[in-house]
Amino acid sequence: MSFSEEIANFTRKATNNADILVRETVLDIGTRLVERTPVGDASYWKSKPPAGYVGGHARANWSHSEGSRVVQEFDVIDASGSASISRILASVPVKAGGKVHFIQNSVPYIIRLEDGHSRQCPPGGMVAVTAVEFKGLVDAIAGSLK
């Protein structure tokens, strides 16, 4: 094998590993955010919920975009989070490296949830806790690559 072929193989492997690292990081962060988002439970409320209230709207509104932030509120309920995780999974390209990725939630009350408005939210919020975990998450994924 020539030197130029070795360089081409190294470049291909490094690019593939970067794509895998970015894709898995985005998917893991998205999953963590969805799963940490509290699902409304009216039994905790001081006031009576609206007729027909079902929790899961905030959890249903996590989404991924590439290149720029997309502000879109989905008119859906997803108490389990599975539809949101599937939507994020479907939107992250296989060739994910070298791009800017956004995971966002456009419900108007998401910051209040992050700041502890819900007793069900993890201490420290959803996003802040995930941000603290970011470096360890990336290190673990990178360490698993060949």
104-115 pLDDT tens trace: 999 999 999 999
Cα separation values, 124 from 38, 60, 129, 132, 134, Å? 13, 21, 6, 10, 15
Angle among Cα 81, 86, 88 to the nearest 5 degrees reads 95
CA dihedral of residues 46, 118, 92, 136 (deg, nearest 10) = -170
The pLDDT assigned to 29 comes to: 98
For residue 130, pLDDT over 90 is answered with yes
The pLDDT assigned to 14 comes to: 65
pTM for the model: 0.88
Give every CB contact of residue 48 below 8 A, 6+ residues apart in sequence.
42
| Percentage of the chain lying above the pLDDT 70 cut | 97
Domain boundaries along the sequence of the chain: 3-144
64-79 pLDDT tens trace: 999 999 999 999 999 9
Can you read off the two tokens belonging to residue 107?
């419900």
For residue 123, pLDDT over 70 is answered with yes
